[in-house]
């Protein structure tokens, strides 16, 4: 069943979502219009600000609520500046104006910001409030680290974070007699108001796929994988949209007009996660937030990398499949997935094939995807006993920053000899790739200072990095070697890999 002029698929034309307890129904929506533009220009909701227009500063943060697998409302902060308006279909949108709508007092989050003097110029404040509101709804007892992580996607240039963190600690202690779901901390049982909100969302859910045609632009939102496969075959040059955390910048920063968009965020079966005896299987539309927990259960040593992967609003929208399919040379997930020897399940029509991730990247932002084909699943092997896995990210800023260099290693040593070693880098070449010369320099050698020096020197044969705004070529070259040195130092204290008895 194609999506051309002979397409017999029944489509609906209206985007429907909930705002302040009411259903908003829109027709003839510009597929390239962002949620931020809609709020400020169409609804005059100017509390939500535009700062960077690329999902970096957090001034535009809003919260999207949806029904989770248990039937409860799930709230997540996102960046409205790069979220396309039609992707709100079937969800509830909450803005800073929503928090006090229809009540006699401001929200505990807002009250805490006032009490703790968490605002000066005030431009960034609505974004901070919405990030804290998402934390308020999901965690009744946040630790300092959890607060810091929740605010990693919000930048303030004048107040300093101490009073904002104090507001985060205070907000959960402000009593609320209001029974509105928005004013209630995360609880074991849903309130009556939450049940009403869930029922309202269920009433606007529709299994009929969405199609919007505005001038020369088209937006499709299929509901199952078969519909998606048909559309991608019919429109092989269409933009496949997942979280929009990169595609959104094509519109806001590059001023491109995307003529045909196929949105995969509502495709049933494309966002699931399954664990087998041999693999962790992650659907291509699974958000980075959802993918993190099962991945960390298998590989807890990747915790810092995943914590520093963008920010909560970006991870709440962006997907692992999108990060991979994008083909960026600096995507933080790829080096780790390369050394873990992940595979991709690719689909075209009814036909699927499995391709090692190491064979997926061909050249700068060019992949092995065939015309009409898309990434369906990511297969990550389960851990092997005795293998040391590490991934390190170097960037100018600790939180919410693009890598200058990202490296990952998988090391297996038996009786002092390297029996298996894999190294992969991002930011060092046009594609994320394995360091084959470095690997060969270590395989079969004693894991000691002598072989380490040879492996570090071999990296010069693997890469000729470029200089750009993030770092110089010389810096990247030196850092790539230093990260290998860091692996060596960390292996000294590993119970299964001891270098002390085999020479240094």
Task: Say how far apart CA 447 and CA 438 lie, in whole Å.
Answer: 13
Radius of gyration from C-alpha coordinates of the chain: 24
| pLDDT at residue number 216 | 87
- Partners of 361 in the beta sheet? 367
Residue-wise pLDDT tens digits, 250-295: 999 999 999 999 999 999 999 999 999 999 999 999 999 999 999 9
Average pLDDT of the segment spanning 159-175:
93
Confidence of residue 501 (pLDDT cuts 50, 70, 90): very low
| pLDDT at residue number 169 | 97
Q: Is the pLDDT of residue 160 over 90?
A: no
Task: Say how far apart CA 336 and CA 324 lie, in whole Å.
Answer: 12
Cα dihedral: 210, 215, 216, 217 (round 10): -40
Contact 35, 80 (CB under 8 A): yes
**What one-character DSSP code corresponds to residue 191?**
-
3-state helix, strand and coil shares in percent for the chain, rounded to the nearest 5:
35, 25, 40
Q: Rounded mean pLDDT of the chain?
A: 93
What percent of the chain is modeled with pLDDT above 70?
95
Burial degree of 384 (CB within 10 A; 0-12, 13-18, 19+) = exposed
Check if 206-263 and 273-502 are the same fold. Answer: no
Residue-wise pLDDT tens digits, 199-213: 999 999 989 999 999
Confidence of residue 218 (pLDDT cuts 50, 70, 90): very high
CATH number (3.40.50.360, 3.10.20.30, 2.102.10.10, 1.10.357.10) of 15-203 reads 3.10.20.30
Average pLDDT of the segment spanning 62-76:
96
Confidence of residue 330 (pLDDT cuts 50, 70, 90): confident
Contact 335, 432 (CB under 8 A): yes
Task: Say how far apart CA 280 and CA 300 lie, in whole Å.
Answer: 14
Q: Measuring CA to CA, how many Å separate 453 from each of 48, 391, 449, 489? A: 53, 20, 6, 13
Q: For 3, phi and psi rounded to 5 degrees?
A: -115, 20
Task: Say how far apart CA 438 and CA 334 lie, in whole Å.
Answer: 18
Q: Is the pLDDT of residue 504 over 60?
A: no
Residue-wise pLDDT tens digits, 106-139: 999 999 999 999 998 999 999 999 999 999 999 9
Task: Say how far apart CA 44 and CA 64 lie, in whole Å.
Answer: 19
Burial degree of 143 (CB within 10 A; 0-12, 13-18, 19+) = exposed
Domain ranges of the chain: 15-203, 206-263, 273-502
Query: 214: which 2 tokens?
Result: 């505005």
Task: Say how far apart CA 128 and CA 249 lie, in whole Å.
Answer: 22
Confidence of residue 500 (pLDDT cuts 50, 70, 90): very low
CA end-to-end span of the chain: 64
Query: 454: which 2 tokens?
Result: 């040879």
Task: Say how far apart CA 196 and CA 201 lie, in whole Å.
Answer: 9
Residue-wise pLDDT tens digits, 389-417: 999 999 998 888 889 999 999 999 999 99
Q: What is the CATH number of domain 273-502?
A: 3.30.390.50
CATH number (1.10.10.10, 3.30.70.100, 3.30.43.10, 3.10.20.600) of 206-263 reads 3.30.43.10
């Amino acid at each position: 069943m194609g999506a051309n002029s002979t397409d017999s698929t029944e489509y609906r034309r209206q985007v429907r979502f909930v705002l302040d307890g009411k259903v908003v129904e829109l027709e003839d929506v510009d597929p390239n219009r962002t949620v931020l533009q809609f709020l400020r220009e169409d609804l005059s909701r100017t509390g939500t600000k535009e700062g960077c227009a690329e999902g970096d500063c957090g001034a535009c943060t809003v919260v999207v609520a949806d029904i989770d697998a248990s039937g409860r409302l799930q709230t997540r902060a996102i960046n409205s500046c790069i979220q396309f308006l039609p992707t709100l279909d079937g969800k509830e949108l909450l803005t800073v104006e929503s928090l006090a709508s229809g009540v006699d007092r401001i929200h505990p989050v807002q009250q805490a910001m006032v009490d703790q003097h968490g605002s000066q110029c005030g431009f960034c404040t609505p974004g901070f409030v919405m990030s804290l509101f998402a934390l308020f709804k999901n965690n009744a007892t946040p630790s300092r680290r959890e607060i810091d992580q929740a605010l990693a996607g919000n930048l303030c240039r004048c107040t300093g974070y101490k009073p904002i963190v104090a507001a985060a600690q205070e907000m959960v202690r402000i009593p609320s007699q209001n029974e509105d779901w928005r004013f209630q901390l995360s609880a074991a049982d849903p309130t009556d108001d939450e049940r009403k909100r869930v029922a309202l969302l269920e009433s606007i859910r529709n299994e009929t796929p969405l199609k919007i045609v505005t001038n020369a632009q088209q937006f499709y939102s299929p509901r199952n994988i078969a519909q998606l496969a048909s559309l991608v075959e019919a429109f092989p040059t269409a933009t496949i949209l997942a979280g929009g955390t990169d595609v959104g910048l094509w519109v806001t920063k590059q001023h491109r007009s995307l003529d045909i968009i196929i949105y995969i965020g509502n495709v049933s079966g494309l966002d699931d996660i399954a664990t087998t005896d041999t693999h962790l299987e992650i659907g291509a539309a699974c958000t980075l937030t959802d993918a993190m927990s099962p991945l960390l259960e298998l590989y807890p040593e990747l915790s810092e990398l995943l914590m520093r992967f963008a920010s909560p609003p970006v991870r709440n929208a962006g997907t692992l499949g999108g990060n991979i399919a994008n083909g960026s040379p600096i995507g933080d997930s790829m080096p780790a997935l390369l050394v873990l020897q992940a595979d991709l399940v690719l689909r075209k029509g009814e036909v699927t094939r499995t391709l090692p991730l190491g064979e997926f990247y061909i050249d700068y932002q060019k992949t092995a995807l065939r015309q009409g084909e898309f990434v369906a699943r990511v297969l990550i092997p389960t851990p092997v006993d005795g293998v040391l896995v590490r991934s390190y990210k170097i960037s100018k800023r600790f939180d919410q920053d693009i890598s200058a260099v990202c490296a990952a290693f998988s090391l297996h040593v038996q009786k002092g000899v390297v029996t298996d070693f894999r190294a992969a880098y991002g930011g060092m070449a046009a594609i994320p790739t394995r360091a084959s010369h470095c690997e060969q320099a270590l395989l079969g050698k004693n894991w000691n200072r002598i072989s380490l020096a040879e492996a570090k020197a071999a990296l010069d044969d693997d890469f000729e990095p470029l200089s750009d705004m993030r770092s110089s070529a010389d810096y990247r070259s030196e850092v790539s070697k230093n990260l290998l040195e860091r692996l060596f130092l960390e292996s000294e204290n590993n119970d299964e890999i001891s270098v002390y008895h085999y020479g240094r």
